[in-house]
A and B are shown apart, each in its own frame.
Chain A
Amino acid sequence: MKAESSRPRVLPEVLPETEFYWKSGANGVLSFLRCQDCKFYVHPPKPICPNCYKFNLKPEAVSGKATIGGFTVNSQPWRAGVPLPYVVALVDIVEQKGLRLTTSIINCEIEDISVDMPVRVVFEEAEDVFLPLFEPDPAANTKGGTR
């Protein structure tokens, strides 16, 4: 069975501090707030770097590459009108350990999805936001994490 994007989706409220994140996909890239001093990616956005306590934060694009930290094939109708089944995953962004997104895995066979599988971002435009979803990365030679 195909892992496809299940719509409709609840869309995120866009706040001044998260607008860059939800619009970044318009340029085809995934961006996170990054401390310009210690280079720590800060997610979700905060007014200070919780790693070095500097205020020098700016959105910065990442590669869009990740690995699947964990996933679930959901067949429970939590919300009416959403086609089943669908795959929810927590993906580990390759740029920083522990930087992780809850997302959908699409564009592959559900049976082929596995923990540590390399994936890449693909954006789904919906009203005023670009949702970062993930699909298998054919070019990846990324090794999975250690746990």
Chain B
Amino acid sequence: MASNIMERNAAITGIGQSVIGRKVGRTGLSLTVEAAMNAIADAGLTPADIDGVSTWPGRRQEALSVSPVGAPDIKEALNLKLNWYSGGLEGPGQLIAVINAVMAVVTGQARHVLVYRTLMEATERPARGSDGRAQGAQAWLQPFHAYGAATFMACHASRYMKYYGMKREQLAQIPINSRRNASLNPKAVFREPFTLDDYMSARMVSTPFCLLDCDVPVDGSTAVIVSHVDTAKDRPKPPVFVEAMAGVLYGRDSWDQGDDMTTMAARDAGQRLWQRTDLKPKDVDVAELYDGFSMLSVFWLEALGFCKKGEAAAFIEGGKRIALEGELPLNTNGGQLSAGRMHAYGLFHEACVQLRGEGGARQVKDPQVAAVGGGGGMLAGAFLLRR
């Protein structure tokens, strides 16, 4: 194990969410304020205690569906006095804002950092397919009708399925499991369980993905408070400790270039993560693994070593191992597939819920360690959290 694992000096002391839904008729800032105030109160703090803000990817006027609220917006709304703040698009996936917050508190730049992610994808128009020419990285993609992650992920999935013999009936266990968990989560967007037959007859989006393999765009906000561990004992809720974190990029920063189409940057993040702890994959009691598409959870299962490369299909077959009562409960709140696309923050939030024992009907029995994997393609950030 590497020495000097400084992220252990950080803890999650508060969590909060806004209402999450398909169309909630609220502004992004309004949702962000709701999530933030819930998280701050949950940590037993007031806005005056918050001296750091971290978000991904900040505000982008040209992409308000995915980037509606920047760090300065929440600073102004809550009249925060900030010793440190950060928001921006570049980094190893969605969870970079949590990674940054942890680094800020362990280096003493801030004591209590408000981290949030807000999405308005049910309301705002996506910034896709302008009438002008495709620019930057898009110039290599859009002329060939590759407009987004569904297309790239589907191509990768096709190769994985051929080389490792995974069938759609096996992949189906990811969304079926998510929906079963969502049925026990009052906040989930889709709660009606479905069967393998329902899955196999669902409308195809982009082979091998049908509609049920794709997560659901929503409006909503998730916030967590990252604090120095020195402050954790004064908080009303049990802290969730950071055991290890990783956000690496060893391969190409590209959706198509690279060494191996049957794995992703998650592989490298996973390797790095386990170098920073004495814990092993078998020590993980609950896994919250990115599921913008069902296939991404498959990649993360292998990347984090819960099964060997190429063995995920057998691992998830029948759904028993990944069920709430199984050996590795997966995406216990319904994931993004059924609880809504909170861009890894819903999964991170759920890991904290489970470790605190606040999962209600979907609570896993006495979990001590949770793994969170965020991102797909070249984006990968991973956390090990413990009680």
Of all chain A residues, the one with the shortest Cβ separation from B262 is A147
B250 within 8 A of partner (CB): no
Task: Evaluate contact between A100 and B143: CB separation under 8 angstroms.
Answer: no
Interface size class for chain B? 35 or more
Nearest-CB distance from A70 to chain B (Å)? 4
Interface string of A111-140 (1 = CB under 8 A from B): 000111000000000000101010000000
Most chain A CB atoms below 10 A, which of B133, B144, B148: B144
Task: Evaluate contact between B147 and A72: CB separation under 8 angstroms.
Answer: no
Task: Evaluate contact between A103 and B129: CB separation under 8 angstroms.
Answer: no
How far is A116 from B159 in the complex, measured between Cα atoms in Å? 9
Task: Evaluate contact between A86 and B145: CB separation under 8 angstroms.
Answer: yes
Interface string of B115-153 (1 = CB under 8 A from A): 000000000000011101111010111111111101110
A52 within 8 A of partner (CB): no
Task: Evaluate contact between B147 and A71: CB separation under 8 angstroms.
Answer: no
Which of B133, B147, B205 is in CB contact (< 8 Å) with A13?
B133
Task: Evaluate contact between A69 and B144: CB separation under 8 angstroms.
Answer: no
> Contacts A72-B158, A76-B150, A76-B206 known; A131 to B257 CB distance under 8 Å?
no
Which of A18, A70, A97, A103 is in CB contact (< 8 Å) with B156?
A70
How far is A73 from B207 in the complex, measured between Cα atoms in Å? 5
A98 within 8 A of partner (CB): yes
Most chain A CB atoms below 10 A, which of B129, B145, B158: B145
Task: Evaluate contact between A104 and B151: CB separation under 8 angstroms.
Answer: no
Which of B129, B252, B256 is in CB contact (< 8 Å) with A101?
B256
Of all chain B residues, the one with the shortest Cβ separation from A80 is B129
Nearest-CB distance from A30 to chain B (Å)? 13
How far is A97 from B73 in the complex, measured between Cα atoms in Å? 46
Q: Which residues of A contact B134 (CB under 8 A)?
A: 10-13
Interface string of B244-263 (1 = CB under 8 A from A): 00000000100111111110
A102 within 8 A of partner (CB): yes
How far is A99 from B359 in the complex, measured between Cα atoms in Å? 46
Interface string of A21-62 (1 = CB under 8 A from B): 000000000000000000000011000000000000000000
Within 8 A of B (CB), among A46-96: 69-76, 78-79, 82, 86, 88-90
Of all chain B residues, the one with the shortest Cβ separation from A14 is B133
Q: Which residues of B contact A104 (CB under 8 A)?
A: 144-145
Of all chain B residues, the one with the shortest Cβ separation from A101 is B256
How far is A114 from B163 in the complex, measured between Cα atoms in Å? 12
Task: Evaluate contact between A74 and B256: CB separation under 8 angstroms.
Answer: no
Which of A75, A114, A147 is in CB contact (< 8 Å) with B205?
A75
How far is A88 from B15 in the complex, measured between Cα atoms in Å? 41
A9 within 8 A of partner (CB): yes
Q: Which residues of B contact A13 (CB under 8 A)?
A: 132-135, 139
Nearest-CB distance from A105 to chain B (Å)? 10
Q: Which residues of B contact A10 (CB under 8 A)?
A: 129-130, 133-134, 142-143
Which of B142, B151, B261 is in CB contact (< 8 Å) with A69?
B261
Q: Which residues of B contact A12 (CB under 8 A)?
A: 133-134, 139-140, 142-143
Nearest-CB distance from A45 to chain B (Å)? 11
> Contacts A69-B261, A98-B258 known; A103 to B144 CB distance under 8 Å?
yes
How far is A73 from B151 in the complex, measured between Cα atoms in Å? 9
Q: Which residues of B contact A79 (CB under 8 A)?
A: 128-129, 145, 147
B157 within 8 A of partner (CB): yes
Within 8 A of A (CB), among B4-37: none
B184 within 8 A of partner (CB): no
Of all chain A residues, the one with the shortest Cβ separation from B154 is A72
How far is A102 from B139 in the complex, measured between Cα atoms in Å? 10
Task: Evaluate contact between A74 and B155: CB separation under 8 angstroms.
Answer: no
Of all chain B residues, the one with the shortest Cβ separation from A104 is B144
Q: List 19 A-B contacts (CB under 8 A).
A: A10-B129, A11-B134, A12-B143, A13-B133, A13-B139, A71-B155, A72-B155, A72-B158, A72-B207, A73-B206, A86-B145, A88-B155, A89-B155, A98-B257, A102-B141, A102-B152, A104-B145, A131-B143, A131-B144
Top 7 A-B pairs ranked by shortest CB distance?
A72-B154, A70-B155, A12-B139, A70-B159, A13-B133, A10-B142, A115-B162
